[in-house]
Structure 1
Amino acid sequence: MSILINILLMQDVTMADTFRADGKIYVVVAIISVILAGLFAYLFSLDRKISKIEKEIKS
């Protein structure tokens, strides 16, 4: 198992280096951040709706 991890860590990450050199890494990070923020907002909204339905069922 540790041999596999060592092989993966020793690989060159040329795509990430290219994005970083071109300044596009910030665009990638921004897009991922927006997607995660939207996902968390959706989950929070869904949790509130489910809690409201559970309260209605109990009463």
Structure 2
Amino acid sequence: MGDTPADVTAGRTAGVRVLGVATGRTTTAELDKAGATVTVTGLEDLQPLRALLRQ
């Protein structure tokens, strides 16, 4: 889980799936471009996280 492109890149480099959370200055588009497996705008909706964990 991360909220910056650097967080996403670190996770992907480590070989793990990454939930991008656009809660700060970074947009969902930027997190997607960095390689987030799933991107959300907040943690209010846990469905995307549940789906990611089931993969």
Normalising by structure 2, we get a TM-score of 0.22
Which one has a larger percent helix, Structure 1 or Structure 2?
1
Higher relative contact order (CA 8 A, sep 6+): 2
Higher strand content, 1 or 2:
2
Larger radius of gyration: 1
